[in-house]
Amino acid sequence: MTPAMGPGPIATGRPPGPVLVVGIDGADWDLLEPWLREGDLPAIAALRERGTRGRSVSTDPPATFPAWTSFATASEPVDHGIFDFTLRRGYSIRFVSARDRGRTSIWSRAAAAGRRVAVYNLPASYPPEELRDGIFVSGFDTPVATAIDPSFVHPRGLHAELTRRHGPLVISDLNEVRIGERWHEEALETLLRDVARRGEIALDLLRRGRWDLFFVLFGESDTAGHHFWWLHDPRSPRHRPGALADGLRQVYRAIDRAISRLLDAAPRDARVLLLSDHGMGGAGTRCIAPNRFLAGRGWLRFAPGGAVDPALGALRGLALRAIPARLQGRLARGPGAGIATRLEARSRFAGIDWRSTRAFSEELNYAPGVSLNVVGREPLGTVAPEEVEATARALVADLLDWRDPETGAPIVARARARREVHGDGPFLERAPDVVVDLALEDGYSTTVRRSGGTPGPSTWRIGVSEHAGSKAAGMNGTHRSHGLYCWASPDAAVGDGPDRRLADLGALVLRELGVESATSDDARRPTGEGPEYDERESEVLERRLRALGYLE
């Protein structure tokens, strides 16, 4: 366990100054350090020079939804319940929403204590929280297609006002299905435009009075890291030199300019927390298909003729483009309800003979965990509940024995039972039974690809034509477990600080506001029942997550 911020004293009374929190999704000091030395990021450099800086420790897996939810609730996934973009029940899935979160947020606790709070662009927060005397604008996971509608904003009347001032509140949909010769040039233009617009809207919101807590997230850095790493990093085995070598740097420069304007507009007594939810690194050329490995070791069996039909996804996309939007809602609530999530589940679990399977993976590129097929929990379970612990230990041993046939190097760095990773908590059952950390190869990630319901090699290399990354080949930039934080306040120690878990950084914000941390049962909140999204909303959310590389 990495060092964590201790509980510390609980402040009382009105805090002496407001707190400004700026998130830079996917940032870490290793990436930024050369640019800081060269003077490219003056606002971030100034913050770092006057505060405590260190590494933020992400969740396991280091994915956007659980990570930002851990900060936003000052708690770990086992307590708040968000481990992924989806929830699995048996062999089906559904996309999560804020109503699946089982912990109250730091925003709601601060607002309930009389603090004025504004939150802009927080992932995993739809529908938005109705903060008393506050503002809330949800993040990129809105199920609204490309333009934010009033359901995305609290108070709802603010939507019309922001639209009048800034135009449609657009969420970018960078389509990654086919990356052609001009794709990166166009994507960079889009990202830079979006950073500028996000900065303008954040500045507008910040100037609407004195806030005790103001939060804004720049997510464009994460998108750029996924798509531009191979161009940025000359050591990458996927590297292609060219004119866009500084594309990633350009996005960070734009974010730094936006931060500078926010700092200038913030009250002089504001304390500032700069943080990221995880870091970023490159992907190599090694690919794996976990379910094929499991099949080779006798844990899983593919059913004859059960392979994924690629025409299914194409047919769904064609139907959704052809059917008028006004009719899609009716169909979504009729016989066609659940198509998007059913097709995604079929892609994950295609061709598995459940009656002959003891363990399976959802084969997610960012979270290749393995679940057991447990009697009474899964519809066609084969592992008795009393055998779960022993079965998990045997599975761990097999996973650690997985080797790259080309190099002999281990594929899996660590495999652990979920309780060993997450501890005990009310939502432990939402985590996979075995948490898998893949080994890096010369510092670069292994890409997880889906087996598609067919036997075949469990390990192989991608070709040059796939180096850019696509929904079929995986992103060329991938998440890392350590991000960054910088805490600048009058009483902050200047210099390097210890690693801080995201939950601890959320608790720090509450303490600075004079609000007790959410550590007791009164921080629990009831979770929603059933899917929050209808079919059209699920399809839009799926498309956005797929375009950003979170779904394969």
Domain final position from 454, 475, 496: 475
Of 12-21, 150-159, 535-544, least confident by mean pLDDT is 535-544
Q: How would DSSP label each residue in 434-493?
A: EEEEEPPBTTBEEEE---TT----SEEE--GGGTT--TTT--SEEEESB--EEEE-TTPP
Mind listing the pLDDT tens digit for each residue in 297-306?
999 999 987 7
Q: Tell me which amino acid residue 66 is.
A: P
* Cα distance between the two ends of the chain: 31
Q: Is residue 331 in some structural domain?
A: no
Q: What is the mean pLDDT of residues 318-343?
A: 44
Q: Where does a domain end: 425, 455, 475? A: 475
CA–CA distance, 372 with 90 (Å, rounded to integer): 11
Interatomic CA distance for residues 429 and 341, integer angstroms: 20
Query: Are the CB atoms for 118 and 110 separated by under 8 Å?
Result: no
Residues 130 and 187 in one domain: yes
Q: What distance in Å separates the CA atoms of residue 209 and residue 170, rounded to the nearest whole number?
A: 25
pLDDT at 243: 87
Q: Is residue 324 part of a domain?
A: no
Let me know whether 230 and 301 are in one domain.
no
Provide the pLDDT for residue 328: 37
Residue 372 phi/psi, 5° resolution? -90, 150
pLDDT tens-digit readout, 97-150: 898 999 999 999 999 999 999 999 999 998 899 999 999 999 876 554 445 677
pLDDT confidence of residue 16 = 61
The verdict on 464 and 534 lying in the same domain is no
Is residue 152 located within the same domain as residue 290?
no
**339 domain residue, yes or no:** no
Find the CATH number of the domain harbouring 240. 3.40.720.10
Look at residue 15 in the predicted model and tell me its pLDDT: 54
- Same domain for 241 and 272, yes or no, is yes
pLDDT band at 490 (very low <50, low <70, confident <90, very high): confident
**Among candidate residues 429, 453, 475, the one where a domain is terminated:** 475
pLDDT at 96: 87
Tally of domains within the chain:
2
The per-residue b/e assignment along 389-398, b for 16 or more CB within 10 angstroms, e otherwise, is eebbeebbeb
Q: Do the beta carbons of residue 483 and residue 491 sit within 8 Å?
A: no
For 418-461, the pLDDT digits (tens) are 999 999 999 999 999 999 999 999 999 999 999 989 999 999 99
Same domain as 263, residue 132: yes
Nearest to 102 by CA among 133, 75, 123, 136: 75
The verdict on 493 and 387 lying in the same domain is no
How sure is the predictor about 349, in pLDDT bands with cuts at 50, 70 and 90? confident
The verdict on 414 and 493 lying in the same domain is no
Residue 429, in any domain of the structure: yes
Q: Are residues 171 and 195 in the same domain?
A: yes
Specify whether the backbone of 31 is left (phi greater than 0), alpha (psi in -120 to 50) or beta.
alpha
Distance (Å, whole) CA 4 – CA 54: 11
Q: How far apart, in whole angstroms, are the C-alpha atoms of residue 511 and residue 53? A: 18
Residue with tokens 């909140």: 525
DSSP 8-state symbol, 370: E
| Closest residue by Cα to residue 102 from 78, 130, 126 | 78
Q: How far apart are CA 78 and CA 80, in angstroms?
A: 6
Same domain for 428 and 385: yes
CA-CA distance, 151 to 413, in Å (whole number)? Answer: 43
Token pair for 329: 């809602």
Rounded CA-CA distance 552/531 in Å is 21
Distance (Å, whole) CA 285 – CA 442: 11
Evaluate whether 109 touches 85 at the Cβ level (below 8 Å): no
Residue 336, in any domain of the structure: no
> Highest mean pLDDT: which of 4-18, 323-337, 461-475, 483-497?
483-497
For the ranges 45-59, 182-196, 257-271, 336-350, the lowest mean pLDDT is seen at 336-350
Residues 350 and 453 sit within 8 Å (Cβ to Cβ): yes
pLDDT tens-place string over residues 20-50: 999 999 999 999 999 999 999 999 999 999 9
Q: What is the pLDDT of residues 202-229, one digit of tens each?
A: 999 999 999 999 999 999 999 999 999 9
* 118, 203 Cβ separation under 8 angstroms: no
Q: Is pLDDT of 90 > 50?
A: yes
Q: Do 381 and 255 share a structural domain?
A: no
Q: Is the pLDDT of residue 529 over 90?
A: no
Indicate if the pLDDT at residue 6 is higher than 70.
Answer: no
Residue 353 has pLDDT above 90, yes or no: yes
CA dist., res. 400 & res. 289, Å (int)? 15
pLDDT tops 50 at residue 321 = no
366 and 514 co-located in one domain: no
User: Residue 226: its pLDDT value, please?
Assistant: 93
User: Does residue 320 sit within a domain?
Assistant: no
Percent of the chain that is helix, strand, coil (3-state, to 5) = 35, 20, 45
Specify the pLDDT at position 537.
63
Residue 178: Cβ within 10 Å count: 8
- HSE of 1, CA atoms in CB hemisphere, 13 A: 8
Domain that holds residue 181: 20-278+481-547
The model carries a pTM of 0.89
Range name among 236-240, 309-313, 377-381 with the lowest pLDDT average: 309-313
What's the mean pLDDT in 362-375?
A: 94
pLDDT for position 522: 53
Report how far apart, in Å, the C-alpha atoms of 155 and of each of 109, 128, 132, 158, 160 are.
18, 9, 10, 6, 10
334-337: which pairs have CB atoms within 8 A and are 24 or more residues apart? 336/535, 337/534, 337/535
The candidate with the shortest Cα–Cα distance to 529, out of 90, 64, 70, 94, is: 94
